[in-house]
């Protein structure tokens, strides 16, 4: 269910692009992201910072795309988002000596501090890779190719999530058994 909520804005964006053009697709993406954010809030009763930032960037870059009739803004939005996330995680880890990933997920996962540190570096690398590859496709390929990349490029997050899950699984601390269970 969550995958469908995460995927539907980009799915609608691609469909709108294929049926119309980048500007209609941008408007659809903006509306779908607002709906997506509302659904996430309705389910979780809160929004993560990433959801808020994504919504803000989609709206700002979408408005710039539509008002200026310049598709470069919507094409570069993912690069700005991914690079920003890498910068925030890196600055927090190496300058402020805070592990934001651990702060956000530490209540859900029990991992050693060294693993949290490596996991954060892995996330920084992933965000930089995604920023770089989106920037490369946005700069050197047609809008049609970039839209197709947005659709088929979902393989990268899937591979990342599976790989991250395998890495984390090796380091999860065993929870103590309840003495009352047999």
User: pLDDT digits over 14-25, tens only?
Assistant: 999 999 999 999
Neighbours of 137 (CB within 10 A): 20
pTM: 0.85
pLDDT of residue 175: 52
What does the alpha-carbon distance between residue 16 and residue 67 come to, in Å, rounded to a whole number?
18
Return the pLDDT at 179.
46
pLDDT at 174: 56
As a whole number of angstroms, the distance between CA 45 and CA 54 comes to: 17
* Positions of the chain with pLDDT lower than 50, given as ranges: 176-177, 179-180, 182
């Amino acid at each position: 269910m969550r995958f469908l909520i995460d995927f539907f804005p980009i799915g609608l964006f691609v469909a709108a692009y294929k049926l119309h053009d980048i500007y209609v697709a941008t408007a659809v993406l903006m509306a779908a992201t607002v709906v997506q954010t509302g659904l996430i809030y309705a389910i979780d009763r809160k929004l993560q910072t990433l959801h808020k930032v994504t919504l803000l960037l989609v709206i700002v870059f979408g408005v710039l795309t539509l008002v200026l009739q310049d598709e470069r803004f919507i094409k570069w939005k993912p690069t700005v988002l991914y690079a920003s996330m890498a910068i925030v995680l890196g600055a927090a880890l190496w300058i402020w000596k805070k592990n934001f990933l651990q702060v956000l997920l530490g209540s859900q996962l029990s991992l050693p501090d060294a693993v949290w540190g490596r996991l954060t570096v892995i996330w920084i690398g992933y965000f930089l890779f995604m920023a770089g590859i989106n920037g490369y496709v946005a700069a050197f390929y047609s809008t049609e190719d970039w839209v197709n990349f947005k659709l088929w490029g979902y393989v990268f997050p899937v591979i990342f999530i599976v790989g991250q899950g395998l890495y984390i699984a090796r380091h999860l601390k065993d929870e103590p058994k309840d003495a009352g269970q047999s």
